[in-house]
Amino acid sequence: MNNRRFYIETYGCQMNFADSEVVNSILMNDGMTPVQRAEDADVIFVNTCSIRENAETRVWNRLKEFRSLKKDNKELTVGVLGCMAERVRDQIIDREKLVDLVVGPDAYRDIPNLLSEVDDGRKAVNVLLSLEETYADISPVRTSGNGVTAFVSILRGCDNMCAFCVVPFTRGRERSRPIDSILREIDELNHQGYKEITLLGQNVNSYKHESIDFTQLMDEASSQNPEIRFRFSSPHPKDFPIQLLHLIAERPNLCSYIHIPAQAGSDSMLERMRRPYTREEYLSLTELMKETIPGVSLSTDIIAGFCDETEEEHQETMSLMKTVEYDLAYMFAYSERERTLAHRKYEDNIPEEVKKRRLSEIIKQQMSIQEKNNLKELGNRHLVLVEGTSKRSDDQLSGRSDTNKVVVFDRKDFQKGDYVEVEVTGSTSATLIAKSIKKSSITDFYSESVLV
Ligand code: SAH
Ligand code: SF4
Ligand code: F3S
């Protein structure tokens, strides 16, 4: 036991944010106290991401800042957690001499022991990946966040080996968490007043524990908690369960929003990327989503400038995005990562300026699609879950629709955590502007909209 103060700074995907909450819990059980500023901490942890070069560069720069804090406070301990811990452990400890402890994503239970090793004057490292660890019995402690929306990890690791992606090497093999522990965590969140839960995994639809699959899990979770909204991220197009689409269509608290990463729009590129679906299969899936769930909102991830990408392939990606008309897209320039298939077998041969140009064409087109989609929302009614005050004005609240669109409207007497029925009065490419109609609930809103 010890009474040190710790601070965690988190980079990367939602899973990393969820992991930081697991680490909070482990450290607090050991007697440590979380603080909100690095300057106030005895131990600083950086939970890191390796997905692209610039994600790592940000962390290196931040670690250098922490090294200067160490000059003022000789007792300060700095630890690196997460994906970079797996990827660049030797460099972090030996070459840069920046940190005292390095802990990979499956070794967080060991942090208290590792901290004692540091106390004894040693550098401490545990980057062992596990076939079983899911942290199922640990109740994550959510020290930051809005108190309304929460992430729950249901599956760790990834077995997909997309040619560009480092995740299988930093997070190890895929493993699912037992349903009982997931439902228990959701129940705790319900009692704490949370209203929206996103179930997380790198390939969330391959969830399988004993005889329970992803659709059954979503069914159980949403029927047990009718006033909590459920989302999930990220599914893989290759094995998306069609049954789930029907469940989403029927069940008011399963959100009509699906993030379904395409990565590219041509068969040749998808094959090079080792994404096991064709353009046509992907498009029939998104078509089916739209048919089965009226008003569904779709989003995607896209990579520009992957190895050998031709102008034609780039155009096919553009045309796929135009066909689907996504409401949101995360768009990236390809960044080569060591150990991946692309690094071993292909050449990162698209010049930086071509990658940038293609990416900016993709982004430009996407912004205009979003603007157009949002214009069509004028007059629509949505049930918005209020997440907090709008960034632009204290007099306005901000939340998201069932379809995951950011909506702002006048504060009036509404509060964080309320479900509010609104009518859209204006829009930009990123936000809907609305007027409130009344406070509501999932049950009321959807039973009324069925009657209309
Ligand atoms: N498991 C998720 C993706 C996790 S990584 C999924 O499969 O949907 C998030 C996104 O980062 C990926 O979808 C991909 O678009 C992007 N990405 C991954 N590796 C990348 C790389 N080397 N360069 C650029 N973008 C990459
Ligand atoms: Fe990476 Fe592909 Fe796994 Fe997603 S599915 S984490 S892109 S290897
Ligand atoms: Fe980054 Fe690791 Fe997530 S590489 S995107 S933090 S799984």
What are the pLDDT digits (tens) for 421-452?
A: 999 999 999 999 999 999 999 999 998 765 54
Residues with CB under 6 A from ligand 2: 158, 160-162, 165, 167-168, 202-203, 236
CA of 323 from ligand 2 middle (Å) equals: 24
pLDDT at position 73: 87
SS3 5: strand
What are the pLDDT digits (tens) for 159-195?
A: 999 999 999 999 999 999 999 999 999 999 999 999 9
Q: Which ligand is nearest to the CA of 164?
A: 1
> Tokens 């990562």 appear where?
337
SS3 184: helix
Ranges of CATH 3.40.50.12160 domains, the chain: 5-126
Regarding the beta carbon of 169 and ligand 1, being less than 6 Å apart is answered no
Ranges of CATH 2.40.50.140 domains, the chain: 381-451
CA of 167 from ligand 3 middle (Å) equals: 6
The predicted model scores a pTM of 0.95
- Which of 8, 15, 335 most suits a substitution to test ligand 3, by most atoms within 8 Å of the C-beta? 15
pLDDT at position 101: 93
- Looking at the domain 5-126, which fold is it? Rossmann fold (3.40.50)
Regarding the beta carbon of 293 and ligand 3, being less than 6 Å apart is answered no
CATH of 149-370, one of 3.80.30.20, 3.30.70.20, 3.10.129.10, 2.130.10.10: 3.80.30.20
Regarding the beta carbon of 81 and ligand 3, being less than 6 Å apart is answered no
Share of the chain above pLDDT 90, in %: 90
**The token pair that represents 138 in the structure block:** 């640990």
Average of pLDDT values for 221-249?
96
* Nearest atom within ligand 1 for CA of residue 342: 22
What are the pLDDT digits (tens) for 238-297?
A: 989 999 999 999 999 999 999 999 999 999 999 999 999 999 999 999 999 999 999 999
CA of 410 from ligand 1 middle (Å) equals: 37
* Nearest atom within ligand 3 for CA of residue 48: 6
Q: Output b/e per residue, 206-245; b: 16+ Cβ within 10 A.
A: bbebeebbbbbbbbebbeebeebbbbbbbbbbeebbeebb
**The token pair that represents 321 in the structure block:** 């995005």
Ranges of CATH 3.80.30.20 domains, the chain: 149-370
pLDDT at position 104: 96
Higher-scoring residue by pLDDT: 356, 145: 356
pLDDT at position 452: 45
What are the pLDDT digits (tens) for 69-93?
A: 888 888 899 999 999 999 888 888 8
CA of 26 from ligand 1 middle (Å) equals: 29
pLDDT at position 450: 56
- Which of 9, 19, 23, 50 most suits a substitution to test ligand 3, by most atoms within 8 Å of the C-beta? 50
Q: Which of 341, 335, 356 is nearest to 50 (CA)?
A: 335
pLDDT at position 144: 82
Tell me: pLDDT of 1 over 80.
no
CA of 51 from ligand 1 middle (Å) equals: 7
Q: How far apart are CA 415 and CA 243, in angstroms?
A: 36
- Looking at the domain 381-451, which fold is it? OB fold (Dihydrolipoamide Acetyltransferase, E2P) (2.40.50)
Q: Which of 8, 25, 5 is nearest to 17 (CA)?
A: 8
* Nearest atom within ligand 2 for CA of residue 236: 5
* Nearest atom within ligand 3 for CA of residue 15: 3
Average of pLDDT values for 11-25?
96
